[in-house]
Chain A
Amino acid sequence: MARILVLVVSVWATLLNAQDPNLEKRVAALADELRCLVCQNQTLADSNAPLAQDLRNQIREQLAKGASESEVRDFMVARYGDFVLYKPPLKASTVALWAGPFVFLVLGAWLLLRILRRGRPEPQLSDAERARAARLLE
């Protein structure tokens, strides 16, 4: 009897643990914005590297303990640096990264405008050519 009870309780506890869709959703969302350091062009969510699995478990464990998203992010940054963030923070060393595309956009627009405005020079025709063109156009 006691054995059955233990079994029931443990199965129930496992189910309870596995069935927290809310927690899983938060884990997945966080894993999706953190970089896997082993396969650097994948997120923690995409990667099957053992380290990525460990880090996903870390995220789950910490969220389950009541940590906030930003606390988990800070935990990762403290260990692996800003590099783990797919969205790097805006600071002095990353200004070029954030502003660069806009600078190039403005530069490109300015160049384009200049070229368009300059237009094409009128072709220079001699009087004879002008007269011939007029005859052809009639």
Chain B
Amino acid sequence: MKKVWVPLVFIALIGLLAAGLRLNPREVPSPLVGKPAPAFELPLLHAPDKTFTQKEMLGKVWVLNVWASWCPPCLVEHPVVSELAKNVSVIGLNYKDAREDALPWLKRNGDPYQLSVYDAAGRIAIDYGVYGVPETYVIDRKGVIRYKHIGPLTPEVAQKKLQPLVKELSGGG
């Protein structure tokens, strides 16, 4: 009779391990969500002599998408980003890339970005806590990061998380 707890402990342990298996260890919660988007002033991918800073987006809801021509998953998410760009300004952060590779990549696959900034050294990406390209940030009117997605955007994530969030942030105040 008193051995009743043995199977109970066993079942609890199985439950715990099963839950652990479902977690994705690659998705590290970002401490940046809820914080102001780190400041940058970077040259444009298309025009090296012009620069762009995140301040120019104040007052708008926008999406920052970190991409590179050497990154296969970026190509995978490309149609999703293009679809997203119909409803919200998407700024590209071209990460540790070369202009002679990045520009043909956009020409080949289409350029969904309002503009792309060129972070050849990846220094600004470090400020954004980037560790696996592609990464996507939703930034609100006050310049605060509201959401971060690591890895390629899937149509599900775009429809269920990004689009509603963008709509919500754009709607009120």
Contacts and interface: CB of A to CB of B under 8 A. Distances in A.
Q: Verify that A and B bind, or say they do not.
A: yes
A83 to B, nearest CB: 5
Contact of B126 (A38, A79, A83): A79
A71 interface: no
A80 interface: yes
A51 B131 contact: yes
Interface in B109-152: 121-123, 126-129, 131-132
Given A51-B131, A81-B129, 16 more contacts: A37-B131, A37-B132, A50-B96, A54-B122, A54-B123, A54-B126, A77-B31, A78-B31, A79-B31, A79-B32, A79-B126, A79-B129, A80-B31, A80-B129, A81-B29, A81-B30
Identify whether the interface residues of B are mostly helix, strand, loop, or mixed.
Answer: loop
Interface of B: 25-26, 28-32, 96, 121-123, 126-129, 131-132
Contacts, number: 37
A55 interface: yes
Interface in A76-111: 77-81, 83
Nearest to B35: A78
A38 B96 CA distance: 15
B31 A37 contact: no
A77 B129 CA distance: 9
Nearest to B150: A37
Contact of B28 (A58, A78, A80): A80
The 3 closest A-B pairs by CB, nearest first: A37-B131, A79-B129, A81-B31
Nearest to B28: A83
Interface core residue of B29, B32, B127, B129 (most chain A CB under 10 Å): B129
